[in-house]
Amino acid sequence: DTAVSQTPKYLVTQMGNDKSIKCEQNLGHDTMYWYKQDSKKFLKIMFSYNNKELIINETVPNRFSPKSPDKAHLNLHINSLELGDSAVYFCASSLPGTGVFFGPGTRLTVL
Amino acid sequence: AQSVTQLGSHVSVSEGALVLLRCNYSSSVPPYLFWYVQYPNQGLQLLLKYTTGATLVKGINGFEAEFKKSETSFHLTKPSAHMSDAAEYFCAVNMNRDDKIIFGKGTRLHILP
């Protein structure tokens, strides 16, 4: 199936730990994103990469570090996790004018 | 700066009634506009989009939206609501043809039996 996939689907961890979320798209899109959705369902863009190059870096703590090894992959590493990092993280991809296609999300719970 | 406003965080309609979800945007240039639906515990699915051309766009599941430049609006409608339409709906805008797509705060649609 052509899609945006991300792993894991659920992530439960203790404060202070480091964790990674992986994302892959096989849609041939040039641009990939990370979005954060909080408990009030508000969606906020975190990062955008175009052909492995960082394009958008919103006001996100530098504990969050995206990495794009190639244009089909965009991973998110989070250091020193905090309670406020609990949210659903969505990976997405797009071509200009196509709209954004989302992965299924990773529900991160920090205890 | 680009922005998008969805009027009403919750909307309730009876099954079979008209669905109208409102979206307004601010822009200095013609935008690209999108509606997404999110079912519980799932990702976002593209319902429809406007880029250029016909201002009335049709999407999946019987939804449609009309781009009205004079009103800076892109309201989502469906003639007859179905129970399966209950979900969160997001309007989104991309104004500079760049990679930044901004989402509204979402409207939760409730369908009453």
User: How far, in Å, CA of A99 to CA of B46, rounded?
Assistant: 7
End-to-end CA distance of chain B: 41
User: How far, in Å, CA of A91 to CA of A74, rounded?
Assistant: 8
Token pair 């965080």: residue = B9
8 A C-beta contact, residue A75 and residue A21:
yes
Q: Rg of the Cα trace of chain B?
A: 13
Q: Is the Cβ of A50 closer than 8 Å to some Cβ of chain B?
A: yes
What is the chain B residue with the closest CA to A53? B99
- Residues 67-96 (A) with a CB less than 8 A from some CB of B: 90, 94, 96
Which two three-digit tokens encode residue A82? 């905090």
8 A C-beta contact, residue B77 and residue B101:
no
In chain A, which stretches have pLDDT less than 70?
Answer: 1-2
Cross-chain residue pair B43–A90, CB shorter than 8 Å: yes
Give A53→chain B minimum CA distance, Å: 12
Query: How do residues B38-69 score in pLDDT, each as one tens digit?
Result: 998 888 999 999 988 899 999 999 999 999 99
Give me the pLDDT at residue B11, please. Answer: 97
Query: How do residues B18-41 score in pLDDT, each as one tens digit?
Result: 999 999 998 777 788 999 999 988
Query: How do residues B68-85 score in pLDDT, each as one tens digit?
Result: 999 999 999 999 999 999
Which two three-digit tokens encode residue B71? 């009103």
